Amino acid sequence: MDAIFQLLQNSGAPMPEWLALALAILLPIVIVMGLFLTVFAFLTWVERKALGRIQNRRGPNRVGPVGLFQPVADGLKLLIKEDIVPGAADRVVHFLAPVLVVVPAFLVLTVVPVAKGFVPVDLNIGVLFALAVSTASVLAVFMAGWASRNKFSLLGAMRGVAQVVSYEVPMVLAAVVVLMAAGTLSSIGIVEAQRGWCGWFVCKPWGLVAFVIFQTCAMAEVARTPFDLPEAESEIVAGYHTEYSGFKFALFQMGEYVAAITMGGVTVTLFLGGYLGPGCDLPRIGWLVSAGWFFAKLGLVVVINIWARGTWPRVRVDQLLAFAWKVLLPLSLINIPAMALWYFLPNRLIGWIASAALLAVALVGLTRLNAGRAFEKRSYRFIS
């Protein structure tokens, strides 16, 4: 933003200061929103195609070539649908919830560096901002559930709150090791700290564990399938958006998908080296190559999301919470000393092995401790 402002000021073009300021503010917003909304639209297509193939179906293939315009058709259909508000609903809150669910999803994008030197706002507390804002969407979820005056909606909203509160803790703790290694909260600083061969944090033992924990928590936080309890359609109709139709429903879907993308962006920034990659420092086309790297990595994370959604069944509520508090939280706590071992031991190789060993022992120990009681094998008297 500042860079654009200075560029406009120094370009010599006759332009009042307020216009340059407005342009500097609006330009990144337009770019980022347009880019990610397009990505969102076609992500729904990619997701439906991939899920279809996983289930040996073809997926959408009617609108446009290979169904490419399906998102357009869906959007138009939802746009012209009747908007139904339940009679007993709290109309103001009911209206505000779908708006608020989209805002935090987009706000996170302000601190995600999409390309080299391109981040809408380089906050020095970027990661903190991202983590804090992304959690705010649960407020909208709860508003939706509460305002609908519907038992299923409220159940879904309560589940959503319990889930996000539980998974926020291991998520932040998983991010802590990255902050320790980078020594900064600025997102660009974190990306720059991952330079060098095998510099990405995911290549370190503690980084890999933190990546898995963070990715799991991100999936839980945006309520994607193994953790989609707030909208579990086989249990509570559609959860918190049971009473939403038309474009409000589309906004919920959009909020969810955009949140999934932006959380993927945060994951890429924290663990996968952001926009770094061969060629990202080239003089003229560096920004383009680095943007390519960022979106390639983002695509990878999104594919992992879709793949997980197509594979794993939804967990139960007790399993969901037990997994967060009994496995992810202790593991992310142990991950911090493991990172310290890696950092402070004199030899990098020894540090590498020591931290890997500590984490392996912790993982096996936690699984053992959490293994449920094995039931005795039943024997039946009259059946051999």
Partner 1 sequence: MNGFPGKGLLEGLAVTAKNFIGSYFDDNRKERLFTYQYPEERMPLPENSRTFPFLVYDGTPDQLRCTACKVCETECPPQCIYIVRDSDPNGKPLQRPKVFDIDISVCMQCGICAEVCPFDAIKMDCDFERSQHGRFEELVAHLPSLLKSNDYYHHIKPTEADRVDATRKRVKKPSPAAAAPAPTPGPAVAAVLSPTPLKPMSPPADILTEDEKRAWLKGYQSILGTGPIVWPLTTKKIATTPQPPTPAPAAAAVATPPASSLAGGEPWHDSGLDLAKRMELAKDRSLADRLMAAMAQLDCQACGYDCRGYANALAAGVTRDVTLCAPGEDETKNTLETLLKEAGKL
Binding site for partner 1 (CB under 8 A): 50, 53-58, 61, 307-308, 310-312, 363-364, 366-368, 371
Q: Which CB sits closer to partner 1, 374 or 383?
A: 374
Q: Which CB sits closer to partner 1, 38 or 367?
A: 367
> In angstroms, rounded to a whole number, what is the distance separating the alpha carbons of residues 135 and 139?
8
Q: How many helices (H) does the chain have, and how many strands (E)?
A: 15, 0
Contacts of 307 by beta carbon, 8 Å cutoff, 6+ apart: 50, 54
Beta bridge partners of 115: 118
Q: Which CB sits closer to partner 1, 191 or 219?
A: 219
Q: Which CB sits closer to partner 1, 73 or 308?
A: 308
The C-alpha R_g of the chain, in whole angstroms, comes to 23
> In angstroms, rounded to a whole number, what is the distance separating the alpha carbons of residues 276 and 198?
11
Nearest distance, CB of residue 378 and partner 1, angstroms:
20
Q: Which CB sits closer to partner 1, 5 or 325?
A: 325
CA-closest candidate to residue 201, choices 220, 222, 221, 176:
176
> In angstroms, rounded to a whole number, what is the distance separating the alpha carbons of residues 328 and 20?
47
Q: Which CB sits closer to partner 1, 368 or 373?
A: 368
CA-closest candidate to residue 76, choices 244, 247, 256, 253:
247
Contact 273, 298 (CB under 8 A): no
CB atoms within 10 A of CB 310: 15
Q: Which CB sits closer to partner 1, 51 or 128?
A: 51
- Evaluated on CA atoms 363, 368, 369, 375, the torsion sign reads positive
Query: How would DSSP label each residue in 100-148?
Result: HHHHHHHHGGGG---BTTB-S---TTHHHHHHHHHHTHHHHHHHHHHHT
Q: Which CB sits closer to partner 1, 55 or 384?
A: 55
Contact 286, 116 (CB under 8 A): yes
Query: How would DSSP label each residue in 250-295?
Result: HHHHHHHHHHHHHHHHHHHHHHS-TT-STTTT-TTTHHHHHHHHHH
Nearest distance, CB of residue 268 and partner 1, angstroms:
20
Q: Which CB sits closer to partner 1, 117 or 307?
A: 307
Q: Which CB sits closer to partner 1, 62 or 348?
A: 62
Nearest distance, CB of residue 65 and partner 1, angstroms:
15
Nearest distance, CB of residue 207 and partner 1, angstroms:
18
Contact 141, 231 (CB under 8 A): no
Contact 205, 354 (CB under 8 A): no
Nearest distance, CB of residue 104 and partner 1, angstroms:
29
Query: How would DSSP label each residue in 188-218?
Result: HHHHHTT-STT-SGGGSHHHHHHHHHHHHHH
